């Protein structure tokens, strides 16, 4: 493949709608346009506080999506009950704190092995692919493998937030080392959080990374150029150097 697949995160389409508890914009309709524009996956985070995506969005997206559906969720009993009844293609388990603006760090799989292992097992028994959102650290990858996850999503937040060029390069190298390590362990490897049009290329160029989940930057750009253009521009930025014309 010439680039990783794009998982378009529709959370902030729902954020705008929920700001007025209105009908528009509808993440379900926008997801369809994003898929036509080339996004291979729709990603959404059904948070416990339902601050953006609602159960209705998830239920409808299960019916209407054409590509893959990746549900980000906390490993809570309520969420597990919901997805075992209405499974997506893939679940990405994420940490969740009510006060946070967005997911602030990866799961501490090492510290919560026992509880997470049970959740992973339940999901896998239902044939759901399980990914764990983790910081790019070897011990988190090894613990992810140990508890039965098939994939990891590497947290790119530190790389994206770093403004000092040398330190950013270090973060980039840390992500690449983790991606290589994941592959050596036999784990599929995604990445995401904070990726935008300016910083995505070095991460997309890592051949070990087969999926990027990107939301905020695409939604922000769509306000200027429309969702179709915003998706296509991102897909262009994700092309690997060897594949550029
Ligand atoms: N991946 C995960 C696990 C996330 O929690 C989020 C944010 O919801 C994203 C990717 C997308 O991040 P952003 O909106 O910054 O592109």
- What does the pLDDT look like over 156-190, one tens digit per residue? 999 999 999 999 999 999 999 999 999 999 999 99
- Residues 10-13: contacts with CB under 8 Å, at least 24 apart: 10/34, 10/42, 10/43, 10/44, 10/53, 10/57, 10/61, 10/215, 11/44, 11/45, 11/52, 11/53, 11/215, 12/52, 12/215, 12/216, 12/219, 13/219
Looking at the predicted structure, is the pLDDT value of residue 24 above 80? Answer: yes
Any atom of ligand 1 within 6 Å of the Cβ of 9: yes
Residue with tokens 């369809």: 32
Residue-wise burial string across 121-132, b where 16 or more C-beta atoms lie within 10 A, e elsewhere: ebbeeeebbbbb
With a pLDDT cut of 90, the percent of the chain lying above it is: 93
Report how far ligand 1's centroid is from the alpha carbon of 33 (Å).
Answer: 20
Q: What is the mean pLDDT of residues 114-142?
A: 97
What is the model's pLDDT at position 49? Answer: 93
The Å distance, Cα 145 to ligand 1 centre, comes to 22
For the chain, the average pLDDT equals 96
Instruction: Compute and round to an integer the Cα radius of gyration of the chain.
Output: 17
Q: Are 121 and 142 in contact (CB under 8 A)?
A: no
**Pocket test residue of 92, 215, 216, 238 for ligand 1, highest count of atoms within 8 A of CB:** 215
Check residue 242 and give its pLDDT.
74
pLDDT for residue 243: 65
Taking 90 as the threshold, does the pLDDT of residue 101 lie above it?
A: no
Give the Å distance between the CA of 215 and the centre of ligand 1.
6
- In short, whether 153's Cβ falls inside 6 Å of ligand 1 is yes
How many degrees, rounded to 5, is the angle at CA 199 between CA 185 and CA 233? 105
Is residue 94 within 8 A of residue 74, CB to CB? The reply is: yes
Question: The tokens of 132 are what?
Answer: 């764990």
| CA of residue 157 relative to chain centroid, distance | 12
For a substitution probing ligand 1, which of 106, 211, 213 has the most ligand atoms within 8 Å of its CB?
213
185-211 tens-digit pLDDT: 999 999 999 999 999 999 999 999 999
Nearest protein Cα to ligand 1, atom 5: 103
CA–CA–CA angle 89, 238, 13 (5° rounding): 55
H helices then E strands: how many in the chain?
A: 11, 8
| pLDDT surpasses 90 at 151 | yes
pLDDT at 66 over 70: yes
With bands split at pLDDT 50, 70 and 90, how would you rate the model's confidence at 103?
low
Q: How confident is the model at residue 46 (pLDDT cuts 50, 70, 90)?
A: very high
Q: How far apart are CA 156 and CA 40, in angstroms?
A: 20
Ligand 1 close to Cβ of residue 102 (< 6 A): yes
């Amino acid at each position: 493949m010439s680039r990783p697949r794009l998982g378009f995160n529709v959370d902030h389409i729902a954020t705008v709608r929920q700001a007025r508890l209105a009908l528009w914009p509808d993440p379900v309709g926008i997801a369809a346009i994003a898929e036509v524009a080339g996004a291979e996956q729709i990603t959404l985070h059904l948070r416990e506080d339902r601050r953006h995506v609602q159960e209705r969005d998830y239920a409808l997206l299960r019916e209407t999506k054409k590509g893959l559906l990746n549900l980000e969720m906390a490993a809570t009993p309520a969420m597990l009950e919901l997805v075992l009844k209405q499974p997506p293609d893939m679940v990405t388990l994420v940490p969740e704190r009510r006060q946070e603006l967005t997911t602030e760090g990866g799961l501490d799989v090492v510290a919560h092995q026992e509880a997470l292992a049970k959740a992973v097992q339940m999901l896998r028994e239902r044939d759901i692919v399980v990914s764990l959102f983790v910081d790019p650290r070897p011990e988190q990858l090894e613990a992810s493998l140990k508890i039965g996850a098939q994939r990891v999503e590497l947290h790119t937040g530190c790389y994206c937030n770093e403004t000092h060029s040398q330190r950013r390069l270090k973060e980039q190298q840390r992500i690449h080392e983790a991606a290589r390590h994941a592959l050596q362990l036999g784990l599929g490897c995604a990445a995401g959080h904070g990726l935008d049009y300016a910083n995505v290329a070095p991460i997309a160029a890592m051949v070990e990374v087969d999926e990027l989940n990107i939301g905020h930057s695409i939604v922000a750009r769509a306000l200027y150029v429309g969702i179709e253009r915003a998706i296509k521009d991102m897909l262009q930025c994700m092309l690997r150097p060897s594949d550029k014309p």
